[in-house]
Structure 1
Amino acid sequence: MGKIIAIANQKGGVGKTTTCVNLAASLAATKRKILVIDLDPQGNATMGSGVDKYNVDATAYDVLIDEKPISEAVVKETSGGYHLIAANGDVTAAEIRLMDCFARETRLRSMLEAEANNYDYVFIDCPPSLNMLTVNALSAAHSVLVPMQCEYYALEGLTALVDTISKLAAVINSDLKIEGILRTMYDPRNRLSSDVSDQLKLHFGEKVYRTVIPRNVRLAEAPSFGTPAMYYDKGSNGAKAYLALAGEMLRREEQKQTQLVHA
């Protein structure tokens, strides 16, 4: 079964969508089969994948509310070389409609069960709040990738998110764990960045990715061209960082498989 990873942080503006799109494109470039599910009504991951969110046949709304099979809702042509379940303003209505649905917390998990085997990785781009859409993502996921800026308030937000993950794991998804913590928009010249980075490594150890995503103009520009950074400017530091992150993830996965074989 493909690995399902929710990309989540209750704090906005930390690079969730940037991470989702660029990591997905980097892994797709290694010939892995990747699915991105955009659960944010803003539809930024959809637009950043070169797909017009106002002109799609189906969105995450159709999957969650009308139970449209993922195979029928997926957009197969994206600028990043991965498959996509799109989002637009309709997904806001999905959150409201979910309140009246049976097994509302696990709708996405049910829809993914039949389809996850067709992919190596499924990335879910979560909205920046703990709403029913995010709960669906965390219910469906095997793990959570947490992008965060190295600043004081981000540390407080991470503590709250870890608490939320553990509570959800106890109630609806006992397998849920933190996949990794990714430092984004990193400026090594900033003393606070270094201090927070040290705190992260002290508390979360190997869960903190060695790869760091720098502040990078090209990363910020790429979405306006509807393409991941590696296809906008492959020589940029941002594009190289996400390629490095993809490599680190694959190595971690290989190490886990090796350990399981020898266990």
Structure 2
Amino acid sequence: MDYLELKITCREEFREILIAELSEIGYDSFLETEEGFDTYSEIDSFDREAFDEIIHRYQEAAAISLKENRVQKTNWNEEWEKNYDPIAVDDLVYVRASFHPSQEGFQHEIVINPKMSFGTGHHATTFQMLRLQGRIDHKGKRVLDVGSGTGILAIMAHLLGADEVQAFDIDDWCVDNGNENFALNSLPIQMGLGTIRSVQPKGPFDIILANINKNVLLDELEIYASLLKEGGYLLLSGFYTEDIQDLTDHCKSLDLDLLSQESKDNWAALVMKKS
């Protein structure tokens, strides 16, 4: 399967906004660059009309320019090796690719070869989710990672001592990549393929992780609540700080109380607890 590579140049302050907008119409593979970002879509599923509408809407304000290329899926690994740098989340975890050396001074280390999956720790939402996970006791817990992407949050849960971790994603490429990353980090599970409704994970869970986007979260919050133990934790991200009220209002109706919230680069992350 060939991919359409879109190299987008834009003003710095619009980069995260454009990534969020494109993620809403099905894009889940982004590579940030000095000038903007690159995004990828399967040729057969590329929604030209929706893409053009977003670009037109922000064209002038964000000073957008773009280049299109047709690339093979197998070329993605080389692109990551050129552009992917390790990241550190405080002293909690060091996230690196297999071609980077280990680094001392961290409680944990995660090896991620991201390929065409989203969720390497570089994005503010993933970074915050990892940090919040480090503040919650995972030992002996059952954990569900919704929309797992590269599997990075599921791997973090395993490293923090979770007794059982389940993960799934709607993209078969993410599932393949996630399973490779699970093997790299000695996580003995297989990622499922599908939505939460089709996968039908069996609760209850002590911790649910959902780093997706606002619309999906609002649509699925009732399911998360039904799968969560009383006193269990729900960690949410993938939305802007201005969306916090909408999410917390919906959570309140499901007996999910806000324990803490954080933001980074205008992206929000919440910790909810089931009362």
TM-score of the two chains, using structure 1 as the length reference: 0.34
- The structure whose residues are more often helix, as a share, is 1
- The structure whose residues are more often strand, as a share, is 2
TM-score of the two chains, using structure 2 as the length reference: 0.33
Higher RCO, 1 or 2 (CA under 8 Å, sep at least 6)? 1
